Amino acid sequence: MIDCMEELIEQLKWIDSLIVKVEKSLRANRQVDGRALRTSKRKKGYQYYLEDRDGNRTYVKVKDMEIVRKVAQKEYDESIKKILKSLRKKLEKFIKTYDVSAIEKEYQRMCEARKCLVKPVVLTDEDYAKQWEKTFQGNKNTFPEKGQYLTEKGDYVRSKSEKILADLFYKMGITYVYEPLLELADGTFVYPDFALLHLRKRKIIYWEHFGLVTNAEYAQKTIHKLNQYEASGLTVGRDLLFSMESDENPLNMKQIVKKIEKHLT
């Protein structure tokens, strides 16, 4: 189920940051008097006037333009603050009632006799994950050497580190397939170590593990591969995650867990 709650909360935070910014600007211009700004067009620009409450206008000379700028900024900030406050109130109210899971719950609450008669408009997370894993098949690498390490899920992978990663994904409830087939923008085919399903966003994120980064030839191939991914529109941290290790620097499991929690849950 695609849930936008996280994005809504981020939007609320963004609005709050703008309110803080506007209020800071208003405090900076609190000395500006209550006269309103009026303008008129002329051939080579504009003329500016300050109007008091009785409608009396005073022409602003070029040397006093800084006053005009402060008045204009204050009027703008006051208007924007009202808009932001209104947006915040509406969004906060919407967030309190936002429950996209109600779509899935409506299907789940049905008895089995009814479920077998209808096609849900949105698959449950469990059904979606099963369908994704069945459709997005793994073990497509044509490399002749078969993996020697059996994972908790029942796959054979090629290295101990890949087993550690696969078992961690499995333990954390991340649906994955090992070595799927991926066609890049230039028409070449690659086999990422893992394709992971971000279930909440219903999005695929690829994971590459680089285990020989201190080997010069391997490092060059790694750089080339990352450049290929980037040229195909896959962005590290959004569509592609990676881990690496060397003899001196083994897998940092705490860091990997944090990466999974940040990008896949």
Mean pLDDT of 186-190: 88
SS3 letters across the chain: CCCCHHHHHHHHHHHHHHHHHHHHHHHHCCCCCCCEEEEEEECCEEEEEEECCCCCEEECCHHHHHHHHHHHHHHHHHHHHHHHHHHHHHHHHHHHHCCCHHHHHHHHCCCHHHHCCCCCCCCCHHHHHHHHHHHCCCCCCCCCCCCCEECCCCCEECCHHHHHHHHHHHHCCCCEEECCCEECCCCCEECCCEEEEECCCCEEEEEEEECCCCCHHHHHHHHHHHHHHHHCCCCECCCEEEEECCCCCCCCHHHHHHHHHHHHC
Q: Which domains does the chain have, with CATH numbers?
A: 5-101 (no CATH), 125-264 (3.40.1350)
Residue 95 has a pLDDT of 95
pLDDT at 144 over 70: no
pLDDT digits (tens, 9 = 90+) for 49-61: 999 988 999 998 9
pLDDT tier for residue 188 given thresholds of 50, 70 and 90: confident
